[in-house]
Structure 1
Amino acid sequence: MSSLLPLVQNETIKVLKKQRFHIVVLILLIMIPVFTYAQMKTAQNNREKFNQDWRLELQQQITDYQNSLGSDRIPEEWKKFRRIMLQQLQYYLDHDVNPSEPNGVTFTRTFMSSSATLFIPLLIMAIASDIVSSERSTGTIKLLLTRPVRRWKILMSKWIVLMLFTAVIIVLTALLSYLISGAVFGYGGWKMPIFSGFSSAGSDVNFDAVHILPSWLYLLMQCGLIWFSSIVVAALGFMVSVLVRSTAASIVALMASLIAGTILYNMASSWPTAKYLFMLNLRLTDYLSGTPSPVEGMTLTFSLAVLAVWGGIALFVAFRVFTKQDILN
């Protein structure tokens, strides 16, 4: 392991010196303020359109839920959900929190969830797609392989650095989202309750496992799931970078697969086998919010297993090709 440390340090310096990582940071610094401004305009329009006191609206919702609990026509599972809703609405009233008013935490949570399937993977792809192929195209890989170091260690150092920068990109995205949006909406909201634990089978929703999480824990779980799915995207980009000499070709291949996934997501219900594609399993955060899966039978455990298999195969192919084949010619 000690022999890997100098290689990891060397690879880290290489990534930091490249313009790609700087471009990723620049994209974040440009796009997050744009989305923050859009959210601010939406909030302003909502305030102008619905100028009624939000406390009165919450109190009316609480009254409606309480009245519905005494009705025999409402199924017990829906009553269970409404009891949980009552707890959340009462929390908002007791703590003088307007749930429809954005803050730094709610913006970060929404932005991270929306970015998990395309935006963040594209940022990671910018690093992963050329971590090997760029050195093959420039010929610097020949100098690296002349060192008295096993090939698998050279590739392992690159993979460790890629995992490190994947985590850095996710943390940076969440941190910048909070800091920039918080300057506009305020930095509160860490203890606001969020529902999680919904599950569905067809058109039926199961509320048995529904529970309330504080926003800070929900956001932490969200980032963890995004990291896992991003690691799989990084592994696939890593494999393509080993297989393809051209950096541009590897970027196009990965970009096409990610965009295809967003298209297939809305069509997957008529193609059950599509649930085994990695692109359809990247939306891990949907399981936290209870969003129905595109194909029946998909669960968080299933998606984690599918992604783990795709990532494992990608790493196996990458290491097999790099260590066994003549990649210098």
Structure 2
Amino acid sequence: MPSIFSLIQNENMKIYRRIGTWVMIGLLALATLAGALITKATHKEPENWRAEVASEIKGIEAQLSEGKMSKMYKNHLEQQLKINEYRLEHNIKPVASNSFWGHLVNSADIIALITLFTIIVAAGSVASEFSWGTIKLLLIRPVSRTKILLSKYIAALLFALCMLLFLLVFSAIVGAVIFGIENIHEPYLAYQNGMVVEKNMLFHVMQVYAFNCADLVMMTTFAFMISTVFRNQSLAIGLATFTMFAGSQITMLLAMKFEWAKYLLFANTHLSQYIDGVPPVEGMTMSFSILVLLVYFIVFCSFTWFIFNKRDVAA
């Protein structure tokens, strides 16, 4: 009986034998390089960064003096104020976009492209077996349906992981070549326990990447579920893609009026909002968002497993 590892290996071979997979990798590299070149051409280093930070401090103080804001946004401004004051006091420049670390942090935005590519892979993982008529060949093997389904899902996540590693390494190479590594020892300033602390920039970059993976995992799982339930790759890709792009905007509009919006999926997928942003609904915490995501994840996976195991998929 084939092991789960051999099944995963077989699914990986299916993924990387496709020309489309290598086209995705090429597009990812092109997007990373293009982003760096555009930043290099358009972004200019400020002549006096201390003056800009001082101006930003005055702007924050003016906002705080108005007093018409939520408690969470006020706390956010107060944290930014203390970080900026720490910069001036210890002569630590803000991380510029046209720098090695700035490029690495900005490259995390390209994870949205990886999410789109992984949706395509996950959507076709099960649905394509039906369209090609190979699902019966899988099911007559002495392997449980659970193992078959799990191997396909893990293979899709491994594809996403490989793309993430490629993005990180390639972005580091491009950043070093185009922007240089003169400021590689710059620290990242974070606000913790009521004080400003200096952290390793590499740790911050890894943290940003990790937080962006929440949306990646959830949308991959969602696309995989739609693919399994409806056996239609186009529907899975279309619905997951639409949800990915429109979900956040719809959630933000609802969050402006309804507190229950905090239980929606896209109110919780952007975990980076707890580092350098403000949650859409006051009172939300990192622990709350992780718990909500875990509930959605369990629901998606359970429904996918139930449908695949109970339905006569060979028919």
TM-score (norm 1): 0.79
For residues 101 and 158 of structure 1, the distance between their equivalents in structure 2, rounded to whole angstroms, comes to 38
Mark the runs of 5 or more structure 1 residues left unpaired by the alignment. 199-206
> Does the 8 Å CA contact 2:103/2:175 hold for their aligned counterparts?
yes
SS state of the match for residue 130, structure 1?
helix
Aligned equivalents of 2:119 and 2:187: distance in 1? 34
Deviation at 1:321, TM superposition (A): 1.1
2:267 maps to a residue whose letter is: L
Match of 1:8 in 2: 8
Encode CA deviations 1:2-34: one digit per residue, 9 max, x unaligned.
721211111110111123322321221221222
Aligned CA RMSD, in angstroms, stands at: 3.0
| Separation in 1, partners of 2:292, 2:79 | 33
Shift of residue 308 of structure 1? 1.2
CA distance 1:210–1:286, shift in 2 (3 Å): farther
Q: Deviations over 1:252-294 (max 9, x none)?
A: 01011112223225413223222222123221122122x0112
Rounded Cα–Cα distance in structure 2 between residues aligned with 1:246 and 1:226: 27
Correspondences of 1:175-190 after superposition (within 5 Å): 175-190=169-184
Q: Where does 1:49-64 land on structure 2 (aligned, <5 Å)? A: 52-54=47-49, 57=51, 61=54
Contact 1:36 1:180 in 2 (8 A): yes
Alpha-carbon distance change, 228 to 2 in structure 1, aligned in 2, over 3 angstroms = farther
Tell me if structure 1 keeps the 8 A contact 2:95–2:102. no
Match of 1:250, as an amino acid?
A
| Equivalent runs, 1:1-329 vs 2, <5 Å | 3-44=3-44, 47=45, 52-54=47-49, 57=51, 61=54, 84-89=83-88, 92=91, 99-100=95-96, 102-112=98-108, 114-116=109-111, 118-197=112-191, 208=194, 210-268=196-254, 269-289=256-276, 291-329=277-315
SS in 2 for 1:120: helix
Deviations 1:300-328 (A, max 9, x none): 11111111111111111111111111112
SS in 2 for 1:282: coil
Query: 2:284 & 2:15 partners in 1: Cα distance?
Result: 37
CA distance in 2 between counterparts of 1:152 and 1:83 reads 52
Q: Distance in 1 between matches of 2:232 and 2:226?
A: 10
Secondary structure class of the residue paired with 2:273: helix
Shift of 1:99: 4.1
Unaligned runs of at least 5 residues, structure 2 = 66-74
Q: For residue 202 of structure 1, what is the aligned residue in structure 2?
A: none
Taking only the aligned residue pairs, the percentage that are identical comes to 24
Secondary structure in 2 matching 1:196: strand
Aligned to 1:203: none
Distance in 2 separating the partners of 1:190 and 1:145: 53
CA drift of 1:121 comes to 2.0
| Secondary structure at the counterpart of residue 296 of structure 1 | coil
Distance in 2 (CA, whole Å) between partners of 1:317 and 1:101 is: 43
Aligned-partner SS, 2:198? strand
Q: TM-score, normalised by structure 2?
A: 0.83
CA distance, structure 2, for counterparts of residue 79 and residue 282 of structure 1: 25
Letter in 2 for 1:279: F
- Distance in 2, matches of 1:81 and 1:245, equals 49
Which amino acid in structure 1 is aligned with residue 278 of structure 2? P
Q: Is the 8 A contact 1:167 1:227 kept in 2?
A: no
- What SS does structure 2 have at the residue aligned with 1:267? helix
For 1:108 and 1:138, how far apart are their aligned partners in 2?
Answer: 40
Structure 1 CA distance for aligned equivalents of residues 118 and 258 of structure 2: 29
- How far is 1:224 from its partner? 2.1
Q: Is the 8 A contact 1:190 1:216 kept in 2?
A: no
